[in-house]
Structure 1
Amino acid sequence: MTVFVLVPEAHTGGWVWEDVAGLLTEAGAGVRPVTLTGMAGSGRPAGPGTDLETHVEDVLRVVDSLDTADVVLVGHGYGIHPVVAAADRRPGRVARVVHLDAGMPRDGDAPLQLVPDQELRARLTASVTTAAPGGDAGPVAPPPLGAWERWGSTAGVPAAALARLAADAAPQPIGTLTRPLRLTGAPAGLPTTGVLCTGNGSSIAMVEALVGMGHPELQVLTDPRVTFFELATGHWPMLSAPGELADVLLKAAAGDGHRIATTGELPAHLRPFLLDLPERPRERRERVDLHLPEPAAGGAPRPAVVLVHGGPVPAGARPAPRDWPAFVGYGRLAAAMGAVGAVVDHRLHSLGDFPRAAEDLVEAVELVRADPRVDADRVALWFFSAGGVLTADWLAAPPHWLRCVAATYPVLAPLPNWGLAESRFRPAAAVRGTGAPPVVLTRVGRERTEIAATVDEFLSAAKDAGADVEVIEVPDGTHGFETTDRGPAAREAVERAMRTVLAHLRR
Structure 2
Amino acid sequence: MSLPTSSRNPPAFVLVHGAWNGGWCWSRVAPLLRQAGHAVFTPTCTGMGERSHLLNNEIGPSTFIQDVINQIVWEDLHEVILVGHSFAGVIISGVADRIPERLKHLVYLDAFILESGVSTMDTLSEENQDRLKAAVDEAGGTVPVLPPPRPKSLNIIEPDDVAFVLDRLTPQPFRSYVEAVTLSNPHGNGIPAHYLHCTEPAFAAVAESDAWAQENTDWIRLPLAASHCAMVTAPTLLANTLLHIASEAE
Q: What TM-score range do you get, normalising by the shorter chain?
A: 0.7 to 0.9
Cα gap change, 1:68 to 1:47, in 2 (>3 Å):
closer
Q: Distance in 2 between matches of 1:164 and 1:218?
A: 31
The higher relative CO (CA closer than 8 Å, separation ≥ 6) is in: 2
| Structure-1 separation of matches of 2:193 and 2:49 | 29
How big is the shift at 1:119?
4.9
Q: 1:126 to 1:42 in 2, by over 3 A?
A: closer
Q: How far apart in 2 are the matches of 1:229 and 1:11?
A: 25
Counterpart among 216, 223, 235 of residue 221 in structure 1: 216
Aligned-pair distance for 1:52?
1.4
Given candidates 217, 229, 248, the residue that maps to 1:236 is: 229
Partner of 2:242: 249
Inter-partner Cα distance in structure 2 for 1:158 and 1:79: 24
Partner SS, residue 188 of structure 1: helix
Q: Which TM-score applies when normalising by structure 1? A: 0.42
Q: Is the contact between residue 135 and residue 146 of structure 2 (CA under 8 Å) also seen in structure 1?
A: no
Indicate yes or no: 2:127 matched with 1:124: no
Q: Within 2, Cα distance between the matches of 1:105 and 1:176? A: 13
Q: 1:95 to 1:122 in 2, by over 3 A?
A: farther
- Report the Cα offset of residue 163 of structure 1: 2.0
CA distance in 2, matches of 1:107, 1:25: 34
Which residue number in structure 2 is paired with residue 139 of structure 1?
145
Q: Which amino acid aligns with 2:145?
A: P
Distance 2:66 2:198 in 1: 28
Q: Which residue does 1:33 correspond to in 2?
A: 42
Stretches of structure 1 that go unaligned for 5 or more consecutive residues are: 129-135, 212-216, 257-507
Deviation at 1:112, TM superposition (A): 2.6
List per-residue Cα deviations over 1:313-349 (Å, max 9, x = no partner): xxxxxxxxxxxxxxxxxxxxxxxxxxxxxxxxxxxxx
TM-score when normalising by structure 2: 0.82
Matches within 5 A, 1:186-335: 187-201=188-202, 221-223=216-218, 226-255=219-248
Of 18, 22, 29, which aligns to 2:31? 22
Asked if the contact 1:229/1:248 (under 8 Å) is kept, the reply is no
Give, as a single letter, the amino acid of the residue that structure 1 aligns with 2:217: T
Tell me if structure 2 keeps the 8 A contact 1:8–1:75.
Answer: yes
Q: Is the 8 A contact 1:158 1:239 kept in 2?
A: no
The alignment partner of 1:48 has SS state of coil
CA distance in 1, matches of 2:189, 2:163: 40
Structure possessing the higher radius of gyration over alpha carbons:
1
Aligned to 1:153: 155
* 4+ residue runs over 6 A deviation: none
Question: 1:95-134 alignment to 2 at 5 Å?
Answer: 95-113=104-122, 119-124=127-132
How many residues were matched structurally?
Answer: 232
**Alpha-carbon distance between aligned partners in 2 of 1:64 and 1:167, rounded to the nearest angstrom:** 31
Q: Deviations over 1:285-332 (max 9, x none)?
A: xxxxxxxxxxxxxxxxxxxxxxxxxxxxxxxxxxxxxxxxxxxxxxxx
Identity %: 30
